[in-house]
Structure 1
């Protein structure tokens, strides 16, 4: 009885998190016994968890492992071919500017085309002594070795972040006084730039009265987005943020979200937050224009609908959804609805506590909300 009383009961959410941690440890080369010891459980428990929550049985797991190995080999072959194509483009006239780029061109010509070092340097226009001298970043005397390693680790964990957010984490979380320009230089030298997609700008005209989120609990923006589990079944995600503090307020992940379910969750948020906002901003989706939501918001909170087909008029929640898509949804495959709920919920919680927003003076949304003392001043705003 004493052994049974001492055993720890794990919730389903804790099991999902530990299985994901086990996958990360397995990727580093640890054995099953070492992983189980690291997680504080037995190997048998790990096996039972994977059978119950992993989404595949033993035979499917073996087949999946073989497919992953084949996929990895194909990816390596494709990466090698792409590197060769990039090098051939790079040695085109007018593109080789820095010594580092010239070194890479020489290496490519030597390895791919079998040229001698002397002839490759002559073609590229790089002196042989310059080619042989190692850059400071590749020597043991480099004073920024530790900082470079930290930036690489940060970029691996946060693949959608840029150098500004890395600098903010160094300054405010790590306590480092490093200059932003230096972080930018090292970020570029390590090749950690994130290609930013700039969509075509459009001019839209909203039919609603302008409402400025000049204080907390003035404008809350609401929207939906979709994903799917590995079996192809839909996952619907409802998100809502305060446009002033950028806090994520709603965590709702279901197979299907009806208007009645949305109203029930909004009621919970209003209760926790001490009342409704002045305005709910949303698009013209079927849940948004439903009779249930209209009745719920009547005489309590105003509704501002953006014109159909103009998502840029709801830019705050669209920006949050883009970050959720690129940093969470696109980086995970859900084996179950429970796993999606746990991971998406953790992401939204981390957004409130860890994401430093430049528009908030590099404070997190939670920190800014705790310090904010702004009050609402209605200007040309009709809120019923």
Structure 2
């Protein structure tokens, strides 16, 4: 009666021709360093099956006629490809963490790694970051600089704290002003953010915290978006820069509909507040500016990087520019009827 080898398939070894469950004569059962290159290659195949195809190690070991004990001993040897891969992955994580100035946590680092060709989970990245003591900076709640004009006309709140991504660009914008300290005095920044992608199409910087600065940011956003943004809702707080006639007139000329949250309520303009907090923690907190001109160049460069490179969780870990490009391509592939229906729904 033919003897069966339990849990083993008929697999022939390329080195010695062993098959039908027989053990390979090339010392597959010995620890790494005592066998041939074939043992290293076979163990590497087993190690990659679960990562690339989800096949458990036990299944691969049975199929290839080797013991799990030998495989796990190989995994913990210093020279194993698995250890080498883990070291390379840890080094790459450290590089990306430094590249992004200690602002990226494990989800964004994972997205970067996948773009580089790594097949890795967020949990693995988080574990390797903990091992290296890599902790992303946490944003603190910032204090607003809004100066309300109690006698000015207030626009109604048309967003109602709904800052979710819109289906198309130029449906809803948010804006705010913040200040940047320098040795020469404060530099003020006005920004315009599109809720579709979190892109900043318009911003302006100046010495004065006034309506002219807010209007300059609005005009830049309109120009960047092609000059025609009729119907867009522009949501701000009730600061005097936005409630005055100078800014209101600019909105009417461009057929922009104003919307305002309450003064002193960060939640009523949360998307703009979040942008300002990100600016503070990623750029301002660790940089000292001697002049306003120095700060102006640094902020402009940071906003450009924010638009083109910085990953956003609301965009599926794409940068604003990449997200807009992906959405535009998706819309171009849709039938014309579906596109019109989506625009009407929006």
For normalisation by structure 2, the TM-score amounts to: 0.61
Partner of 1:48: none
Mapped pair 1:152 → 2:94: yes
Q: Is the 8 A contact 1:222 1:241 kept in 2?
A: yes
Q: Distance in 2 between matches of 1:240 and 1:267?
A: 10
Q: Is the 8 A contact 1:207 1:307 kept in 2?
A: no
Mapped pair 1:167 → 2:110: yes
Q: Distance in 1 between matches of 2:119 and 2:295?
A: 38
Q: Distance in 2 between matches of 1:310 and 1:330?
A: 24
Q: Is the 8 A contact 2:159 2:259 kept in 1?
A: no
CA shift in 2, pair 1:307/1:222, >3 Å: same
Deviation string for 1:216-258 (max 9, x for gaps)?
Answer: 1011111011121134x11111121101111111232222143
Structure richer in helix, relative to its length: 1
Q: Is the 8 A contact 2:234 2:259 kept in 1?
A: yes
CA shift in 2, pair 1:240/1:265, >3 Å: closer
Q: Distance in 2 between matches of 1:311 and 1:376?
A: 30
Q: Distance in 1 between matches of 2:242 and 2:131?
A: 47
Q: Is the 8 A contact 2:156 2:259 kept in 1?
A: no
Using the TM superposition, give the Cα deviation of residue 197 of structure 1 relative to its aligned residue in structure 2, in angstroms: 5.8
What does 1:266-345 align with in structure 2 at a 5 Å threshold?
A: 266-274=218-226, 275-276=228-229, 278-298=232-252, 300-345=255-300
Q: How many residues align?
A: 235
Using the TM superposition, give the Cα deviation of residue 207 of structure 1 relative to its aligned residue in structure 2, in angstroms: 5.9
Segments of 4+ in structure 1 off by > 6 A? Answer: none
Using the TM superposition, give the Cα deviation of residue 149 of structure 1 relative to its aligned residue in structure 2, in angstroms: 1.9
Q: Structure 1: which 5+ runs fail to align?
A: 1-135, 200-205, 380-384
For normalisation by structure 1, the TM-score amounts to: 0.56
Question: Between Structure 1 and Structure 2, whose CA radius of gyration is higher?
Answer: 2
Segment of structure 1 superposing worse, 207-216 or 310-319: 207-216
Q: Distance in 2 between matches of 1:163 and 1:305?
A: 35
Partner of 1:240: 192
From 346, 362, 366, give the equivalent of 2:301.
346
Deviation string for 1:37-69 (max 9, x for gaps)?
Answer: xxxxxxxxxxxxxxxxxxxxxxxxxxxxxxxxx
Q: Is the 8 A contact 2:139 2:281 kept in 1?
A: no
Q: Give the root-mean-square deviation of aligned CA atoms.
A: 2.7
SS at match of 2:127: helix
Using the TM superposition, give the Cα deviation of residue 376 of structure 1 relative to its aligned residue in structure 2, in angstroms: 4.2
Q: Is the 8 A contact 2:189 2:205 kept in 1?
A: yes
What does 1:11-160 align with in structure 2 at a 5 Å threshold?
A: 142-143=83-84, 144-157=86-99, 158-160=101-103
Task: Name which structure has the greater RCO, CA cutoff 8 Å, separation 6+.
Answer: 1
Q: Structure 2: which 5+ runs fail to align?
A: 1-75, 142-154, 332-338
Q: Is the 8 A contact 2:175 2:190 kept in 1?
A: yes
SS at match of 1:355: coil
Q: Is the 8 A contact 1:225 1:236 kept in 2?
A: yes
SS at match of 2:268: helix
Mapped pair 1:209 → 2:155: no
CA shift in 2, pair 1:331/1:197, >3 Å: closer
